[in-house]
Amino acid sequence: MPPAIDYAHYDRIRPIRWTGAALELLDQRKLPFVVEYVACTTSDAVADAIHSLAVRGAPAIGISAAWGVVLAARAIDAADAVEASVQLEPALQRLNAARPTAVNLAWALARMRAALLRAQAGGGADWRDALEAEARAIETEDLAANHAMGTLGASLIAPGSGVLTHCNTGSLATAGFGTALGVIRAGVAQGRIGKVFAGETRPWQQGARLTAWELLQDGIPATLIADSAAAHLMKTGAVQWVVVGADRICANGDTANKIGTYQLAISARHHGAKFMVVAPSSTVDMDTASGEMIEIEERDPTELLGIGGTRTVAEGVPAWNPVFDVTPHGLIDAIVTERGIVERPDAGSMRALFGG
C-alpha cells in the first residue's frame, strides 16, 4: 500500500473563496510577488476576471462561472425559477463568452441551468438556494476528483521517475490540489517521483510564475526550464513522464491544452518518455468528435511582444498568439480522470468509460 497523502501539507492554496456576499479570486496576474484577492460582486466582474486571467485553468473558470451565476441571481427580481431562467440567460451567455476553449465553463453553466430546472420542477420558491448549492457542489466535487486522480495517475509512475509538466494545473487552476500537479504531488508524497521539471509556459508564464511558486509552498523542489529546452532535457533521459492537464478532451481522446503541449507530446514519443493527460470528467467533451473542431483561443499579440509588461520586440513586428494547441490521441499514453484511466485513448476506449 502506498503511504496516505497528507492533503493538508500538499494543498495550501485556495484560488476561489465564496464569502456569502462576494466571490474572491486570487489574482493570478500578480503572482508570485503579490498575493492578493480581487472581490467580484457581479457576474460581469466574474466574466471579466475569467477573460483577463485573474482566474484561470479549466476547472477554476468553471467553478468561478458557477459562482458568477449565484451573483447574477442576486441582481434580478424574479418570482420563480421559470422567470429566473429567462432573466439570467444574458448573464450566463456573457460568462460563457469569457473564454472559448475550456469546456468546463460551458459544462458548469449547463449544470447551473439544470439546477434551475430542477428547482422549477420542485415548486421553484428556493431557486436562489438551489443555485448556491449547485455552485458549492461543483467546487466540492472538483476537489474530490483531484484527490482521486492524484492517486490513480501516480500509480502509473515507477519509483524514482523524472516528470516534466507544462502550464499550471495545480490548486491555482482548480478547487484545490490540482490535476496534473495533483498527480505530481501524490507521486512525490509516495516516493515515485524523484525530480520535477516545470516548463516556463510562454507567453503568460504560468509555469514560471505559478507552478514554480505553488510547488515551493509545498516544499517540492521543481527545476524550471525554458520551453525550448524540453527536447534537449528529454534527450538526457531525465524525463520518464510528461504530465499535463487539459482544457477539452474530445470523444476520440484528442486533447486541447496550453500552447506548447503538442510539441512536448511529439518530443516525448521521440525520446521514449510517456505522456499523461490528467483532467476531471468535466473536461471531457463527448459531443466534440475530434480536435479539429475545437475553437482555439487567440489572445492579444501584445502578450508576446514583451515580458512582464516591458516591451522587448521592435515596434511594427506582428505576432500570432494562439494560447492552446491540440495533441492528437495517438501521442497520448494515458488519460487519467476521476472515473478511471483510459490507456492509449481512442474513440472506442473513450466511449467505454464515458458513454455517448
CB of 146 to ligand MRU, least distance (A): 8
Residues of span 194-223 touching ligand MRU by CB under 6 A: 206
**Bridge pairing between strands 255-258 and 248-250:** antiparallel
**Residue 195: Cβ within 10 Å count:** 16
CB of 143 to ligand MRU, least distance (A): 12
CB of 167 to ligand MRU, least distance (A): 4
Question: Which one among 27, 134, 142, 247 touches ligand MRU, defined by CB under 6 A?
Answer: 247
Q: Which three cell numbers stand for residue 296?
A: 482555439
Helical pair 127-154 and 58-74, crossing angle rounded to 10 deg: 170
Residues of span 152-171 touching ligand MRU by CB under 6 A: 167, 169
Q: Does residue 322 have a cis bond before it (omega within 30 degrees)?
A: no
The catalytic position among 11, 247, 285, 325 is: 247
320 class by beta-carbon count within 10 Å (0-12 exposed, 13-18 middle, 19+ buried):
exposed
Q: Does 185 bind ligand MRU (CB under 6 A)?
A: no
Cβ atoms of residues 119 and 113 within 8 Å:
no
Q: Does 258 bind ligand MRU (CB under 6 A)?
A: yes
CB of 132 to ligand MRU, least distance (A): 24
Q: Does 173 bind ligand MRU (CB under 6 A)?
A: yes
**Bridge pairing between strands 334-337 and 274-278:** parallel
> Which residues have a Cβ under 8 Å from the Cβ of 204 and sit 6 or more positions away?
53, 303, 323
Question: Which one among 43, 161, 171, 179 touches ligand MRU, defined by CB under 6 A?
Answer: 179
Question: Which one among 162, 245, 253, 291 touches ligand MRU, defined by CB under 6 A?
Answer: 245
Q: Does residue 32 have a cis bond before it (omega within 30 degrees)?
A: yes
Question: Which one among 64, 161, 174, 327 touches ligand MRU, defined by CB under 6 A?
Answer: 174
> Which residues have a Cβ under 8 Å from the Cβ of 324 and sit 6 or more positions away?
101, 247, 256, 257, 258, 259, 294, 296, 297
Which of these ranges, 1-9, 116-124, 172-180, 325-333, lies near ligand MRU under the rule CB under 6 A?
A: 172-180
Considering the complex, state which of residue 89 and residue 300 has its C-beta at the smaller distance from ligand MRU: 300
Q: Is 77 a catalytic residue?
A: no
CB of 262 to ligand MRU, least distance (A): 12
Distance CA 134, CA 140 (A): 10
Query: E-assigned strands of 202-347?
Result: 222-225, 241-244, 248-250, 255-258, 274-278, 284-285, 306-307, 310-311, 324-327, 334-337, 340-343
Question: Which one among 85, 151, 161, 257 touches ligand MRU, defined by CB under 6 A?
Answer: 257
Residues of span 30-89 touching ligand MRU by CB under 6 A: 56-59
Paired strand residues for 57:
none
Site string for ligand MRU, 287-326 (x = CB under 6 A): ------------------------------------x---
Considering the complex, state which of residue 59 and residue 187 has its C-beta at the smaller distance from ligand MRU: 59
Q: Does 176 bind ligand MRU (CB under 6 A)?
A: no
Of 317, 324, 290, 291, the residue nearest 302 (C-alpha): 317
Q: What are the φ/ψ torsions at residue 202 (nearest 5 degrees)? A: -65, 150
Number of residues forming the site for ligand MRU (CB under 6 A): 17
Q: Does 102 bind ligand MRU (CB under 6 A)?
A: yes
The residues assigned a catalytic role are 247
**Contact residues for ligand MRU (CB under 6 A)?**
56-59, 102, 167, 169, 173-174, 179, 206, 245-247, 257-258, 323
